[in-house]
Amino acid sequence: MLVVTRKRNEAIIIGDAIEVRVLRVGRDGVRLGVTAPPSVPVHRTEIYKLICEENRAAAAGGATLPGDFAARIRLRAQNPAPEPDPHDD
């Protein structure tokens, strides 16, 4: 894992087309801005995990309706699970 230190308005570039910029640093966290081509999906981790779960369920034949999926995303966005500490290895 590459670890970098960035200040407000500083960025890193991934490949030739993805930029991750620090927009704000506050008590509750860091706000990042991601610029990427439309062909590159960009998701928060908790949303990506939900998408993967739904894809596995669909492949197994237990897919939910799109409205159910949207409701689950809204519920998790309102009550997000705490992120694991990357230093707990």
Q: What CA–CA distances, in Å, run from 13 to 26, 38, 62, 74, 78?
A: 23, 16, 39, 31, 31
Q: Is the pLDDT of residue 26 over 90?
A: yes
pTM for the model: 0.62
Q: Give me the residue label for tokens 């197994």.
A: 60
Query: Alpha-carbon dihedral of residues 67, 68, 74, 77, nearest 10 degrees?
Result: -140
Q: What would the pLDDT profile of 38-70 be if each residue is shown by its tens digit?
A: 999 999 999 999 999 888 888 887 655 666 777
- 11 vs 5: CA distance, rounded Å: 10
Q: What is the pLDDT of residue 87?
A: 56
**29 pLDDT tier (thresholds 50, 70, 90):** very high
Which residues on neighbouring strands pair with residue 11, listed in sequence order? 21
